[in-house]
Amino acid sequence: MSPELVTDRARIRPPASWKDPGTHYLHVLQDPWYRHVFELTDLFHTATVDFWRRRGGRAAYLPLTTGSVSSPMGRGSDSSPVRVVLEGVPTYLADSMQFLLELSCRLTDGPSYYVMPSFRGEAADETHLCQFFHSEAELVGGLDTCITVVDDYLRHLAATYLEQAADLVTALAGGTGHLREPLRDGAFRRITFDEAVDLLDDHPRFVRHQADDCRSLTRAGERRLMELLGQFTWVTHMDHLSVPFYQAFASGDRAKAANGDLLMGIGETVGCGERHDRAELVREALALHEVRESDYEWYVKMREAAPLRTSGFGMGVERFLLWLLNHDDIRDLALLLRFNGEQINP
């Protein structure tokens, strides 16, 4: 870490310089908050590489543009894609390159992973950035395998920060007790979405109903579940129509998805799921979600050419850092700001 040892136990606070995007970069150059966030982000990256190397994972270098976003506008979409025109050709900036991780996973015996930018069309707020970093991976196996890997990944990250950056985390977060929580036996717990709805009494403040078979948790609902059950709670098997089409159908129940969200920090920080392993299941899901098959013809053909049962996950890096720093506004973690609809330099 930095040769500058943090000796002042007074907690370092962010300057909230995102409120003035034009001068934000000057605060980045001058304020210790950003210098230390930069160091902690570097440690996140090296710890991630170390984790996957131990498991035989291979890093995938993938493009940032795509013609087939992973959250298309349709039933189950939870984000707005960012459409651009390059040399006269309409395309999208990637909301995730999960689909291409599914392809690269078919080129190796182990997992395939990356840490890359993602782009979303919604306005930024305290829990959401327009451009953020994604730690994503795809691996052979089903939902349970994926959840176990995510749990191990978070334990690895927590242990790394405890071993290599405890003083720095203390200076920014006020302590390191929270880093020991995921290392405890039984720290991670699971609840199905239907069980979560019952626990929340299906209250409209906590559960959003787009239709009877298309429900989702609100941010308030996620926070309430963490109050009741604790952090590191997996919510699994959501209504299939509330998630993107690519999530596999739960075994024996086409109305449910073989997926899960991990609640920690501000709420959902990791999303994971099993994929359809056969082309006919992808076609069925596309029709169910009212998404044009022609936009995903290549995705269907990939399963015909190389059928494989895989699952994968995506972790928002800045959302993980919110938990790491005991912080509550994700806009304080952007080294360089990017807000949709604004020209911001540098």
15: cis peptide before it, omega within 30°? no
Distance between first and last Cα of the chain = 26
**pLDDT value of position 2:** 45
CA dist., res. 161 & res. 98, Å (int): 27
Answer yes or no: is 215 within a domain: no
Answer yes or no: is 7 within a domain: no
Q: Report the domain count for the chain.
A: 1
Tens of pLDDT, residue by residue over 279-331, are 999 999 999 999 999 999 999 999 999 999 999 999 999 999 999 999 999 99
Which contiguous run of DSSP H or E holds residue 158?
helix 143-164
Answer yes or no: is 103 within a domain: yes
Judged by DSSP in three states, 279 sits in helix
> Which residue, chain included where needed, has tokens 């699952």?
311
Answer yes or no: is 6 within a domain: no
The pTM (predicted TM-score) of the whole model is 0.95
The answer, yes or no, to whether residue 262 has pLDDT greater than 90, is: yes
Give the model's confidence band at 80: pLDDT under 50 very low, under 70 low, under 90 confident, else very high.
Answer: confident
What one-letter code names the amino acid at 286? Answer: L
CATH number reported for the structural domain that contains residue 95 in this entry: 3.30.930.10
Answer yes or no: is 238 within a domain: no
Answer yes or no: is 13 within a domain: no
- Asked whether 150 and 272 are in contact (CB, 8 A), the reply is yes
CA dist., res. 119 & res. 64, Å (int): 9
Give the model's confidence band at 78: pLDDT under 50 very low, under 70 low, under 90 confident, else very high.
Answer: low
**pLDDT value of position 134:** 97
Mean pLDDT computed over every residue of the chain: 94
Range of the domain at 104: 20-184+276-333
Answer yes or no: is 83 within a domain: yes
CA dist., res. 62 & res. 85, Å (int): 19
Tens of pLDDT, residue by residue over 211-250, are 889 999 999 999 999 999 999 999 999 999 999 999 999 9
> What average pLDDT does range 188-194 have in this prediction?
98
Answer yes or no: is 62 within a domain: yes
